[in-house]
Amino acid sequence: MEASYQLPYPPSVNHYWRSVGGRVLISKEGRAFRRKVCAILNRVRAEPMDGDLAIEIVVYPPDRRRRDVDNVLKSLLDALEKGGAYENDSQIKRLTIEKRQPVKGGHTTVKLQTYKEP
């Protein structure tokens, strides 16, 4: 089984969490990203994949600022789970991410497939 999605560029983990009154919450930017991903997955009628998964992610930043490629993973994987791409991110057995040249507005491509032991 396989599924591919084109999604917005995720917020960095540095912008994903906010501390409010001693509690740590998902930021306004993080919630907006999650809503967008959920809407896209709903529109394409994504069905949750089961079993072990391999995920390939390619990010296209919105500009040339320095960005750590690993900082987008938390918000992206959480949004995919919330949107119903899979039941739980503990299903992920292989995860690859690549950062390419910036494009106006930025975006992300995600490919999910059943994981096969090497």
CATH number at residue 51: 3.30.1330.70
Domain region containing 15 = 2-114
Distances from the Cα of 54 to the Cαs of 68, 91, 106, in angstroms?
21, 9, 23
E strands in the chain: 2-7, 17-20, 23-26, 53-60, 92-99, 107-114
Q: For residues 49-62, give the mean pLDDT.
A: 97
pTM, 2 dp: 0.91
The H helix count followed by the E strand count for the chain is 3, 6
Check pLDDT > 80 for residue 18: no
pLDDT at 5 over 90: yes
User: How many domains, in total, are found in the chain?
Assistant: 1
pLDDT of residue 23: 86
pLDDT of residue 108: 98
Position 17 scores a pLDDT of: 74
Residues with Cβ within 8 Å of 86's Cβ and at least 6 positions away in sequence, in order, are: 48, 49, 50, 53, 80, 92, 112
Give pLDDT, residue 16: 73
